[in-house]
């Protein structure tokens, strides 16, 4: 479903010498991964890369069984992005469109029927308590309402991959729980999710594995990636389970 091989991602130089970490991981269909780490650990960069908003200059990446690495074609990029829902830290909207029309955009891009668009938009507006804002414009919304709208837009088309940056998980406990409940339902149907946060929620209602960032960069003298530098972890990600998130 999602495979990264020795993918270079930025990190703060105070965390990783040289400011570059090499990331490898494999995440299967329907699985959830919590991406944790301090500020400048590369969490957002990882999400942006999988969302195909950050170019892949080296290494390899496969999404939904399609090559999404340095040689990705424009057509493949467009098709994959239609199957990815990304809830950004600072979501952007088309200001000339109403909230309802912004949320409906993924369905329109997928060429859904007008009846389906209307039904699904009304349903998700209600689910995220946005009915009163349906005909408002994004610039008039509070930060919490903008995040609710971003969640609705990212999830309305039931994407194959969901990416969630930290603010949607920390700004409002009610929104977080509602979002995690929705993702849990999508995961049962095969959606793969990555959720970035500095610290795990005290009570996470979504089971998942954990990826701790940053990963260290190997020293120039150590050319074999299978042999770690003394005192430094090898540049590969070990997805480990956390008892707080598993039954």
d(CA 186, CA 159): 8
**pLDDT digit string (tens) for 167-220?**
888 878 888 888 999 999 999 999 999 999 998 876 666 889 999 999 864 444
**pLDDT score for 65:** 94
Closest CA to 97 of 36, 141, 41: 141
> CB neighbours (10 Å) of residue 78?
11
Percent of the chain, pLDDT > 90?
A: 76
**pLDDT score for 219:** 47
- Domain segments of the chain: what residues? 87-158
Residue 151 has pLDDT above 60, yes or no: yes
**pLDDT score for 176:** 85
User: What confidence tier does 21 reach under pLDDT thresholds 50, 70, 90?
Assistant: very high
Residue 59 has pLDDT above 80, yes or no: yes
**pLDDT score for 173:** 81
More confident residue, 116 or 215: 116
The b/e string for 23-49 (b: 16+ C-beta within 10 A; e otherwise) is bbbebeeebbbbbbbeebbbbbbbbbb
Answer yes or no: are the C-beta atoms of 41 and 62 closer than 8 Å.
Answer: no
Residue 222 has pLDDT above 90, yes or no: no
Answer yes or no: are the C-beta atoms of 168 and 151 closer than 8 Å.
Answer: yes
Mean pLDDT of the chain: 86
**pLDDT score for 73:** 95
d(CA 194, CA 188): 15
d(CA 183, CA 169): 12
Percent of the chain, pLDDT > 70?
A: 85
């Amino acid at each position: 479903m999602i495979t990264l091989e020795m993918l270079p991602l930025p990190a703060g130089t105070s965390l990783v010498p040289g400011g570059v970490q090499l990331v490898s991981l494999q995440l299967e269909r329907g699985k959830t991964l919590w991406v944790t780490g301090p500020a400048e650990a590369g969490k957002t960069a990882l999400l942006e890369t999988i969302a195909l908003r950050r170019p892949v200059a080296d290494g390899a990446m496969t999404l939904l069984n399609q090559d999404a690495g340095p040689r990705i074609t424009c057509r493949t990029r467009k098709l994959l992005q239609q199957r990815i829902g990304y809830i950004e830290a600072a979501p952007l909207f088309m200001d000339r469109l109403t909230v309802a029309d912004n949320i409906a955009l993924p369905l329109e891009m997928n060429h859904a029927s007008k009846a389906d668009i209307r039904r699904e938009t009304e349903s998700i507006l209600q689910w995220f308590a946005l009915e009163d804002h349906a005909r408002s414009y994004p610039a008039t919304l509070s930060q919490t309402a903008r995040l609710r709208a971003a969640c609705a837009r990212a999830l309305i088309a039931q994407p194959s991959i969901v990416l969630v940056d930290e603010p949607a998980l920390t700004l409002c406990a009610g929104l977080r729980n509602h979002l995690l409940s929705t993702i849990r339902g999508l995961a049962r149907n095969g959606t793969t999710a990555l959720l970035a946060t500095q610290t795990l929620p005290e009570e996470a209602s979504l089971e998942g594995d954990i990826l701790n960032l940053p990963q260290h960069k190997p020293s120039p003298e150590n050319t074999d990636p299978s042999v770690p530098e003394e005192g430094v972890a090898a540049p590969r990600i070990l997805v480990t389970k956390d008892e707080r998130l598993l039954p």
